[in-house]
Chain A
């Protein structure tokens, strides 16, 4: 049974040959980058910044979404009554509404109290004193039951609008909806910006790597001439791409952490001021890892593309 052991020996020899060649290619491309530290660092910075910017925006967005998630509460309507409705009418309306299904509570704010609150909040006492009469109407704050859907809230709002003596209905959660929509716009904006930054990275890296390939054209030609395969000629450039990606990814992760460290103080102080239990979300492990993965994949595939194109051109001449 010589054949199987022979095959294993061949496989082992192939594996050690593969290992030797890869070690040599990785080592030589690393030494070439180390010989030009400033240029290498600038390329890392390019990768780091163009990936770090979308990553930090995404992190900001995730933080904001986490904040708004805490705002969940049943929609509240403000019913501004007509001027003709007096306090008695308002009390009666309050009692009627309290019996409606779908309504959790009703609070009456008489117009005198509203004026006092308004002047206390704004400090416009002098201006309000100069008015001959109170311009504010009586107001009912109507809270709907928990778990009401958007459609139920909308139909409740229609019914409230139809009540005799109600001038206007204001849905207090409108700003929430607006915020949520705003966040959706922002997240698309971040994605689009991220995609553009990635494309810009590919183009800039592609150009850097293309110049690297051109600078080492002689080497490629000699390697091909003395029997090096395309894979052998390509390998040092793929490792160059890999080093660019690894360095840029690590630097990008560091930048993201610095960004968070810089923001954490004021952001957390803001949360405290709003009496929120929320604190700034740190990038954790998945952000840096994703950043590193994207950076390595992008640089490696970009160098593959740049190399392949140029090698084919050289081959033709």
Chain B
């Protein structure tokens, strides 16, 4: 369960978020939408502790996360799988090694790592590209490597920031289908996107932000 309780984030005089209230249930899949500058990315950044709120409180499974620091931040982030529009892959290593990174951080043995990486790549349909250089793959394939990396360590939460931003409608649908598949096995999924035609076809809650506040889709 993710809860934002009157959360504000101010940059100088500008409010990116203003008294935002938001709740995502355990096992839910929800979309976060709105114009650019509405605060979608800020919500995800605060949730990953890449930024801190100017006011209010964020709770994850009832625990206040805004006070976390040092090693606790790293441990907290391991509960999340994150997917980005620009993929954030490392081009100096193979597809396998990119996907293996969260497992290495979590301290899995090399044998377990190989097994889990292959399983994750199989799910996103890239098992044949294990040894490939990610730079040699297409945008859609790179995004799928990013997704495999996000889910390989079986996180509680999967969050994505414009995961279909650069992809054609066909590929976008495939990517969304992947997220739905992970949600069906119990992962809480939150996706920031402005691809309205795509998400309107899917039956999930759509939370609309405008000027840093929720204007639609929040039941609270």
- Could you list which residues of chain A lie within 8 angstroms of chain B, going by C-beta atoms? 16-18, 20-21, 24, 218-219, 221-230, 232
The digit string for B102-144, where 1 denotes a CB below 8 A from any CB of A, is 1011111110000000000000000000000000000000000
Residue of A16, A20, A221, A222 near B101 (CB, 8 A) is A222
- Bound together, the chains give a CA A221 to CA B101 distance in angstroms of 13
Residues of A within 8 A of B48 (CB): 225
Residues of B within 8 A of A218 (CB): 88, 90
Residues of A within 8 A of B71 (CB): 229-230
The digit string for B83-105, where 1 denotes a CB below 8 A from any CB of A, is 00000111010000000011011
Which 7 residue pairs spanning A and B have beta carbons closest together?
A: A17-B107, A227-B78, A227-B77, A229-B74, A228-B105, A226-B102, A227-B74
- Bound together, the chains give a CA A21 to CA B108 distance in angstroms of 9
Interface residues on B, range: 20 to 34
| Residue contacts A-B, CB under 8 angstroms, 26 given | A16-B109, A20-B107, A20-B110, A218-B90, A219-B90, A221-B88, A222-B88, A222-B101, A225-B48, A225-B50, A226-B77, A226-B78, A226-B81, A226-B101, A226-B105, A226-B149, A227-B75, A227-B78, A227-B79, A227-B102, A227-B105, A228-B74, A228-B105, A230-B74, A232-B74, A232-B105
Told that A226-B101, A227-B106 touch, could you supply 14 new A-B pairs with CB distance under 8 A?
Answer: A21-B104, A218-B90, A222-B89, A222-B101, A225-B77, A226-B77, A226-B81, A226-B149, A227-B74, A227-B75, A227-B80, A228-B101, A228-B105, A229-B75
Residue of B81, B89, B101, B108 near A223 (CB, 8 A) is B101
B107 touching A21, Cβ below 8 Å: yes
- Bound together, the chains give a CA A20 to CA B100 distance in angstroms of 13
Which residue of chain A lies nearest to B50 when distances are taken between CB atoms in the complex?
A: A225
Residues of A within 8 A of B70 (CB): 230
Q: Decide if B191 is an interface residue (CB 8 Å cutoff).
A: no
Main SS of the interface on chain A?
Answer: helix
- Bound together, the chains give a CA A199 to CA B177 distance in angstroms of 59
Residues of B within 8 A of A229 (CB): 71, 74-75, 105
Residues of A within 8 A of B108 (CB): 20
Q: Decide if B58 is an interface residue (CB 8 Å cutoff).
A: no
Which residue of chain B lies nearest to A219 when distances are taken between CB atoms in the complex?
A: B90
B109 touching A224, Cβ below 8 Å: no
Knowing A20-B109, A20-B110, A219-B90, the reply to whether A224 touches B104 (Cβ < 8 A) is no
Which residue of chain B lies nearest to A231 when distances are taken between CB atoms in the complex?
A: B71
For window 136-166 of chain B, which residues contact chain A by CB distance below 8 Å? 149
Q: Whole-angstrom distance from the CB of A248 to the nearest CB of chain B?
A: 25
Residues of B within 8 A of A223 (CB): 101, 105
A222 touching B109, Cβ below 8 Å: no
- Bound together, the chains give a CA A219 to CA B89 distance in angstroms of 9
- Bound together, the chains give a CA A20 to CA B111 distance in angstroms of 11
Q: Decide if B38 is an interface residue (CB 8 Å cutoff).
A: no
Q: Decide if B82 is an interface residue (CB 8 Å cutoff).
A: yes
- Bound together, the chains give a CA A221 to CA B81 distance in angstroms of 15
